[in-house]
Amino acid sequence: MLDWLGLPVPASAHAREVDQIMSLVHWLMLVLLVGWGVFFVYVLVRFRRSRQPLASYHGVKARWASWVEGGVLAAVVALLVILSIPLWSARVDALPPERGSTVVRVVAEQFAWNVHYPGADRVFGRTHISLVNPDNPLGLDRHDPAGRDDITTINRLNLPVGRPVIVYLSSKDVVHSLGLPQMRIKQDATPGVVQPVWFTPTRTGEWDIACSQLCGLGHYRMRGVYSIQPQAQFDAWLAREATLLSQ
Ligand SMILES: [Cu+2]
């Protein structure tokens, strides 16, 4: 029932719930489109000039018109109150505990995604704007003890499958938007704000990170890759990056 929209593969724990709402909204819109379309054609024929030479200024008096309006209103309110608001609050009210989750910072800039892993100590090193340069786009302080083992990448977000991921999302310049279609995640990255986003990947695979806000002339090339990997593969990658750091 959910595949008729042609959505990307659902690869996170909450993906199907989002799809369900999208599907219901589309069904409602389809019913409205066809319903109003048929009614419009009926009105054109029924009130054509040859049959109705004099205009009526009183409008429709029939009861059924109000019932139809009321029905549409009830369907929209039901979608919002029964489905959308509970799903939204489940997504944003509380984060999963950091212990047991993969925690990562993503800092957007024109036109790249900077990714920051806390390393083996699970603590992010200090970052400061004065340290930002082309070789250190995150401004990470490697002299900070917590920052020595931190791993950074550009346009590559590797994550393990099967446990929650918390992304602390921010931006260095303008408003960008982290779009992970297969995770059913889309969140604006706003300068000056650190916005947490979380999801639980349920499927391995490699897909595009899309910037979903028109963020400047190079917006079209602000493309990254995210890869959902088995835990062992992810751990091996982190270990490899850690060895590269110590060389
Ligand atoms: Cu962007």
Q: Annotate 128-195 with DSSP letters as a single string.
A: -GGG-BTTBTT-B-TTSGGGTT-EEEESEEEEESSS-EEEEEEESSS-EEEEEGGGTEEEEE-BT--E
Q: What is the pLDDT of residue 51?
A: 86
Q: Average pLDDT, whole number, for the chain? A: 92
Statement: residue 1 has pLDDT above 70: no
CA dihedral 83, 87, 93, 96 (to 10 degrees): 160
66-95, pLDDT tens digit by residue?
898 899 899 889 989 998 899 899 888 889
Residues 6 or more apart from 25 whose CB is under 8 A from it? 79
- Say which amino acid occupies 232: A
Ligand 1 centroid to Cα of residue 64, in Å, is: 49
Ligand 1 centroid to Cα of residue 118, in Å, is: 24
87-122, pLDDT tens digit by residue?
899 888 889 999 999 999 999 999 999 999 999 899
214-245, pLDDT tens digit by residue?
999 999 999 999 999 999 999 999 999 999 98
Ligand 1 centroid to Cα of residue 76, in Å, is: 33
34-66, pLDDT tens digit by residue?
999 999 999 899 888 888 888 878 877 788 888
For the chain, the first-to-last Cα distance in angstroms comes to 53
147-186, pLDDT tens digit by residue?
889 999 999 999 999 999 999 999 999 999 999 999 999 9
